[in-house]
């Protein structure tokens, strides 16, 4: 399933008429980061404590995003 996203993005980019190439234009950096962390976790190079900490950080980030959407906060106005 993870291989389908870059493949479909690459295929979609080919049909747009613009010259796009490379993995960074085909996938969002967050997708590439997710895939890298999944590989590190699967291979056993990521300790359990780090995985738990990253899970907690991800939960907080998702909660902040949901509350921001509900409150109508614009990220540009925060900076």
- Give 76 or 21, the one with higher predicted confidence: 76
Instruction: For CA atoms 11, 1, 38, 30, give the dihedral sign.
Output: positive
pTM, entire model? 0.57
Task: Give me the phi and psi of 2, to 5 degrees please.
Answer: -70, -25
**What average pLDDT does this structure show over 39-43?**
93
Q: Supply the pLDDT for residue 19.
A: 56
Collapsing DSSP to helix, strand or coil, 42 comes out as: helix
pLDDT band at 47 (very low <50, low <70, confident <90, very high): very high
Residue 35 CA: distances (Å) to CA of 10, 47, 60: 17, 17, 20
Domain coordinates in residue numbering, the chain: 1-46, 47-79
């Amino acid at each position: 399933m993870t291989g389908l996203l870059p493949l479909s993005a690459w295929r979609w980019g080919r049909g747009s008429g613009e010259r796009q190439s490379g993995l960074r234009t085909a996938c969002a950096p967050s997708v590439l980061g997710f895939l890298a962390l999944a590989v590190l976790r699967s291979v056993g190079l990521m300790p359990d404590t780090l995985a738990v900490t990253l899970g907690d950080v991800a939960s907080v980030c998702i909660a902040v995003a949901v509350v921001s959407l509900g409150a109508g906060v614009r990220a540009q106005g925060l900076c």
